[in-house]
Amino acid sequence: MVLKGRVGSSPTFRTTPITQRPCRGQMPSPKDILLINPWIFDFTAYDFWTKPLGLLYMGALLREYTEGRIHFIDCLDRHHPELPKKANTKRDGRGPFFKEEVSKPSVLRDIPRKYSRYGIPQTLFSHQLDELPRPDIVLVTCAMTYWYPGVQFVVELIRQKFGGVPVVLGGIYATLLPDHARNATNVDFVLSGPGEKALLPLLREVFGDAFCSDSRFERLGDIPWPAFDLLRDRSSLPVLTSRGCLYDCTYCASSLLFEGFEQESPHRVVEHIESLHRLHQTRDIAFYDDALLLNKKRHIIPILKQALRKKIPVAFHTPNGLHIREIDEELAMLLKRAHFQSIFLSQESFDEQVLNESCSKVSSTDLKVALSHLMKSGYRASEINVYLMVGLPGQGVDGIRESIQIVQRLGARPRLAYFSPVPGTAAWQDLVAKGILHRDSDPLLHNKLAFPYILGEMSPADFVSFKELAYPQTGKTKK
């Protein structure tokens, strides 16, 4: 159900038969389709312009190509009116999730941190289920591989309420670990790959050929824009203008989730942004692209110029790190004029060995040049966030500290990005080859805050010292 996935991959079906399928050619009755964004079970979670974008794309696709009645439950809804306390939301839309501490899974019992379920209380979820008609099929998504307990909990409650209703799981977890997803979550179908390629064929399999057309989606522009009206709060929304990345960093799964690289038409992107402000009064837009600045002369620069001509009153944010080498004087000026308020740059490290082995997209000298252009355009260096990797296998403690200090000497704000061994990446394969992880290791061990303890190359005190150095005022991770 998420858009990111291998091109050309097909859905993988569980062998359990679905009863009472309509005969081929029979006109189906309207179906109730329930979409669920599950809870996050983790040591920490924060709404960093977090929306279930792929699931909302699938909701729009279902509306346009089926007769299904779409229903939606967002377990991560920070604006639910019945939450025990009101959401603490920043001006730009970010803020903490409501959370309830839960017992740690046994595999994480030695990690010295509290473990919580992030999202609405279970009672609110059950109440929303009570208000819905019995669904004919349920679609669930999941992003991080180590967030699968949220899927398990959702499916358990769905089974208790609706019995054997077909449940479909898609998303990044289902794409990277389809076998684990199939065996661990008690769903009926696992969609591994691009949701727009797999979902309609699956529905034809479940409900018969007459339920929906045999439509084909060859590129991002073929898919309807996401069904953002399903969300309660739309003041800040994400936009995806491209898929994939031309680089192949050893720790990144972008090339596994989408093979190749494609970009939307700048004109279509700007029309979409304009419509979000007009229809939903959206005032903050977060770009979800992994490689927003690539082909900048044909993509982001025309987008910004058109947005400026139309005078769309929105602010832009880039939670995913920008490619530093692409920032020249022209682009920096456009970013400032177009009201890019939150800029995060992907430096990762200043250790040349780490960069040579893991990350070819940046060098140790690129940041200084980019910051010069950004400051000339009107940004203060302290407004620029710089991602630095922490916990890469083989990454030295001294190199991490030095990287933090270099960013601070340049006047920018270091932001620590903790390494997670993402299945299928070169870094993960190396860990498997060395016996540090197994191919069938519990995905909970992929957790970015748990893995440093598992790897054992740095002590808990080292990680505390990194935070204290990077965030001297509080010693806590900044959002």
Handedness of CA 328, 330, 332, 338 (dihedral sign): negative
Assigned token pair, 116:
């919580």
8 A C-beta contact, residue 144 and residue 67: no
Assigned token pair, 363:
């060098």
Q: What pLDDT is attached to residue 476? A: 56
The residue from 211, 244, 279 where one domain ends is 211
DSSP state of 246: S
DSSP state of 418: E
Q: Is residue 38 part of a domain?
A: yes
The total domain count for the chain is: 2
CATH number for position 334: 3.20.20.70
Q: Is residue 285 part of a domain?
A: yes
Q: Is residue 4 part of a domain?
A: no
Q: What pLDDT is attached to residue 456? A: 81
Q: Are residues 311 and 442 in the same domain?
A: yes
- Of 149, 180, 219, 159, the closest CA to residue 12 belongs to 180
Residue spans of the chain under pLDDT 50 = 1-26, 475
Residue 166's SS3 state is coil
DSSP state of 24: T
CATH number for position 61: 3.40.50.280
8 A C-beta contact, residue 211 and residue 67: yes
Q: Are residues 49 and 96 in the same domain?
A: yes
Q: Tell me how crowded residue 384 is: count the other CB atoms within 10 A of its CB.
A: 22
Q: Are residues 289 and 182 in the same domain?
A: no
Q: Are residues 197 and 246 in the same domain?
A: no
Q: Is residue 475 part of a domain?
A: no
Residue 352's SS3 state is helix
Q: What pLDDT is attached to residue 69? A: 96
Q: Are residues 360 and 446 in the same domain?
A: yes
Q: What pLDDT is attached to residue 458? A: 83
Residue 348 CA to its chain's centroid (Å): 19
Cross-strand bridge partners of residue 71: 34
Q: What pLDDT is attached to residue 3? A: 35
Instruction: Specify the amino acid at residue 151.
Output: V
Q: Is residue 73 part of a domain?
A: yes
- As to burial, measured by CB atoms within 10 angstroms (0-12 exposed, 13-18 middle, 19+ buried), residue 357 is middle
DSSP state of 414: E
- Of 336, 404, 323, the closest CA to residue 374 belongs to 336
Q: Is residue 446 part of a domain?
A: yes
8 A C-beta contact, residue 145 and residue 448: no
Q: Which residues contact 302 (CB under 8 A, 6 or more apart)?
A: 266, 267
Q: Are residues 68 and 176 in the same domain?
A: yes
- Of 348, 353, 354, the closest CA to residue 404 belongs to 348
Instruction: Specify the amino acid at residue 351.
Output: D
Q: Which residues contact 395 (CB under 8 A, 6 or more apart)?
A: 349, 351, 354, 389, 419, 457
Q: What pLDDT is attached to residue 219? A: 85
Q: Is residue 476 part of a domain?
A: no
Q: Are residues 315 and 462 in the same domain?
A: yes
- Of 221, 154, 216, the closest CA to residue 184 belongs to 154
Q: What pLDDT is attached to residue 210? A: 84
Q: CA-CA distance, 198 to 356, in Å (whole number)?
A: 37
8 A C-beta contact, residue 200 and residue 207: no
Q: Are residues 259 and 406 in the same domain?
A: yes
Q: What pLDDT is attached to residue 271? A: 97
For 322-339, write each residue's pLDDT tens digit.
Answer: 999 999 999 999 999 999
Q: Are residues 202 and 243 in the same domain?
A: no
424: left (phi over 0), alpha (psi -120 to 50) or beta: left
Q: CA-CA distance, 291 to 295, in Å (whole number)?
A: 9
Residue 477 CA to its chain's centroid (Å): 19
Q: Are residues 167 and 244 in the same domain?
A: no
Q: CA-CA distance, 115 to 108, in Å (whole number)?
A: 9
Q: Are residues 388 and 465 in the same domain?
A: yes
Q: What pLDDT is attached to residue 117? A: 98
8 A C-beta contact, residue 2 and residue 55: yes
8 A C-beta contact, residue 464 and residue 475: yes
Alpha-carbon torsion angle 281, 92, 71, 254, nearest 10: 120
The residue from 211, 246, 281 where one domain ends is 211
The residue from 177, 211, 245 where one domain ends is 211
Q: Are residues 263 and 202 in the same domain?
A: no
H runs (alpha helix) in 380-478: 397-409, 426-433, 451-455, 460-470
Strand locations in 166-218 (E): 167-171, 189-190
Residue 444's SS3 state is helix
Q: Is residue 140 part of a domain?
A: yes
Which residue has tokens 């965030």? 471
Q: CA-CA distance, 55 to 33, in Å (whole number)?
A: 12
Strand locations in 241-335 (E): 242-244, 261-263, 284-287, 315-322
DSSP state of 5: B
Residue 460 lies in domain: 234-470
Assigned token pair, 438:
């197994």
Q: CA-CA distance, 145 to 187, in Å (whole number)?
A: 16
For 207-247, write each residue's pLDDT tens digit.
Answer: 998 888 788 888 888 999 999 999 999 999 999 999 999 99
